[in-house]
Amino acid sequence: MMTERVNVLLVDDRPENLLALEAILEPLGQDLIRANSGPEALKRVLEIDLSVILLDVQMPGMNGFEVAEIIKSRERSRTIPIIFLSAISKEDAYVFKGYSMGAVEYVFKPFNPDVLRSKVAVFVDLFLKQGEIQRQGDLLRESQKRELELEHRTSLLETEARSAAKLSQMNDELHRRQIALEQAMGARNRFYASMSHELRTPINAVIGYSTLMLDNIYGPLNAKQKEGLQRTLKAARHLLELVNDVLDLSKIEAGKIELSLQPVMFPSLIEDLFVTVRPLADEYGSTLSLEMEGEAFNIVSDPRRVRQILLNLLSNAIKFGEGKPIRVVCKQNEAKGVEIDVVDEGVGIAKDDMTRIFEEFVQVSESKQPGTGLGLPISRRLAQLLDGSLSVHSDPGHGSAFRLTLPASLEDDLTPTAELSAASAA
């Protein structure tokens, strides 16, 4: 009997990559369907039954993550296995994003042809077996109509027993995978925290000794030596900023952020921050102004985390404000909470990038400003931990406005040093 052929969808915007995939998978003897873009892939998913999808991550217009999200949102296609193909970042955060979008495998280019062929063969075989089970079920139902009641009941009990065993096996496998994923995420967070602590000590030493040398503690420096040390000091401080941001992010994801609730005074907190960022504003040529609507007031929150959020917003406004004025508007809202707008007149943010700015390690601006790509993601997560929100409105070429909203008090929900759960940090 001729073996049934099934459909395998190959999605890549580069024809040469599709040709290479066809050469690798041809020995499987299945029907290889091409798609040159995300929209074409979605059309194929609607038209034909697929055993597995090999999906390139980096594609113009609609990337692989967006295609996978739509596929998994549809009832008809949500169970189709997806193997992501990527030639870029292998970092855990990037890979976990792929799995969160519904991937069952994540393969990095250049990939081993035998390994890739074996992975696809597994899903093809699973698809065929599922089809065979379905056909057997149909035949069984047809025969049940003609069988005696006793035979019918016996067959039904046997089918239920097999289904129960299969379901139990699948549940056990799902549980094992869930535990493995939780362990991997825990190991990643522990690695981030451990490495961040270990790295800060030598970085602080570099900063300390560089500062001492620039202060001529070890003797006078010539111009070239001074210039080199200043660059070293700047790079070390940038590295320390990255390490601190990674440590903060790992704490949030691990649910280890503690909040110390105290009265937070406005506009005093903002005025103090102006003193901190004034040298940076002077360096870029921007002026800072505070517009306070109404009388001074306070909320109950964590002042350290509120300062951290606003410091990130002010620093970004200065760096991307093109030397133009920066305004901070502060007012008490109707719920007695605080509403703070940080407004710049700089390059602005493109519409397609509005959601990406809150993703880890992403910098969408074309300007070559220093940064870690973690400031805004951390700020939004901290705002959520404080039971508030961080939103943005931007007009490309005319500037951006970030709005931080915080409630009047968290005392009803948290103790002064409550350790938040990982669920709260999500």
Tens of pLDDT, residue by residue over 26-70, are 999 999 999 999 999 999 999 999 989 999 988 888 888 888 889
CB-side neighbour CA atoms (13 Å) of 93:
13
Residues 233-254 pLDDT 10s: 877 776 666 666 666 666 676 6
DSSP bridge partners of 375: none
The number of beta carbons lying within 10 Å of the beta carbon of residue 382 is 24
Instruction: Please give the span between the terminal C-alpha atoms of the chain, in angstroms, as a whole number.
Output: 53
What's the pLDDT tens digit per position in 182-205?
Answer: 777 666 666 655 665 677 678 788
Residue pair 420/257 in contact (Cβ under 8 Å)? The answer is yes
* Helix, strand, coil percentages for the chain (3-state, nearest 5): 55, 20, 30
Overall pTM > 0.75 = no
| Calpha distance 67→56 (Å, rounded) | 10
423: pLDDT confidence band, cut at 50, 70 and 90?
A: very low
Closest CA to 318 of 358, 290, 278, 356: 278
Are the C-beta atoms of residues 409 and 392 closer than 8 Å to each other?
Answer: no
Q: CB-based burial of residue 185 (10 Å sphere; 0-12 exposed, 13-18 middle, 19+ buried)?
A: middle
* pLDDT higher than 70, residue 2: no
CA 14 to chain centre: 26
Whether 82 contacts 68, CB under 8 Å: yes
Residue 128 has pLDDT above 80, yes or no: yes
Q: How many CB atoms lie within 10 A of CB 104?
A: 16
Q: How far apart are CA 34 and CA 32, in angstroms?
A: 7
Q: Average per-residue pLDDT in the chain?
A: 82
Angstrom distances, CA of residue 87 to CA of 13, 91, 102, 364: 13, 12, 19, 20
List, for residues 77-93, the tens digit of each pLDDT value.
888 888 888 876 555 55
What's the pLDDT band for 418 if we cut at 50, 70, 90? very low
What is the rounded distance in angstroms from the CA atom of residue 424 to the CA atom of residue 386? 10
Higher pLDDT, 208 or 330: 330
Contact (CB, 8 A) for 405 and 337:
yes
Instruction: Please return the burial class of 314, using the count of CB atoms within 10 Å of its CB with bins 0-12, 13-18 and 19+.
Output: buried
Q: Dump pLDDT digits (tens) for 262-318.
A: 999 999 999 999 998 898 899 999 999 999 999 999 999 999 899 989 998 999 899
Q: How large is the average pLDDT for residues 312-341? A: 93
8 CB-contact burial (10 Å; exposed 0-12 / middle 13-18 / buried 19+): buried
Give the residue-averaged pLDDT of 125-148: 78
Report the distance separating Cα 25 and Cα 27, nearest Å. Answer: 6
Nearest to 181 by CA among 92, 52, 64: 92
CA gap 229, 221 in Å, rounded = 10
Tell me what percent of the residues of the chain surpass a pLDDT of 90: 32
- Residue 400 has a pLDDT of 92
